[in-house]
Amino acid sequence: MCGYGRSWSWWRVAPSGYTYIGPCRCGTGPHAFYQDPSGRIVPAWQVYRWGLPPMPTKEDLKAELAALKEEKAELEKHIEEIEKQIKEKE
């Protein structure tokens, strides 16, 4: 058990800008999760042990956006291929 019999009520108080999501399946505080302002899911132990995780830089966001656009294009191409196969089998 994660809490070792102690009370972990501190984890329900969300840090500024964070939204409490809930505990993990064990149901104890150190494994609770928050959502940060950018939408990332952050475990409570990371927030309270080492401070808030660093926010992504503008360059990080641009790189992630480019990767997601590339993945989107690949998925759209794959969808078109599957739709074509479905039409051929009708």
Q: Helices marked H in the chain — which ranges? A: 44-50, 58-89
Could you tell me the two tokens for 68? 């997601």
What local confidence, expressed as pLDDT, does residue 60 receive? 78
**Same domain, yes or no: 17 and 44:** yes
Q: What is the pTM of this model?
A: 0.42
What local confidence, expressed as pLDDT, does residue 30 receive? 59
Q: What are phi and psi of 85, to 5 degrees?
A: -65, -40
β-sheet bridge partners, residue 20? 34
**Same domain, yes or no: 50 and 65:** no
Domain containing 32: what range? 1-54
Q: What is the pLDDT of residues 9-66, one digit of tens each?
A: 554 556 667 788 877 777 555 577 888 878 888 887 766 655 555 667 788 788 889 9
**Same domain, yes or no: 13 and 50:** yes
**Same domain, yes or no: 41 and 78:** no
- Split at pLDDT 50, 70, 90, the class of 5 is very low
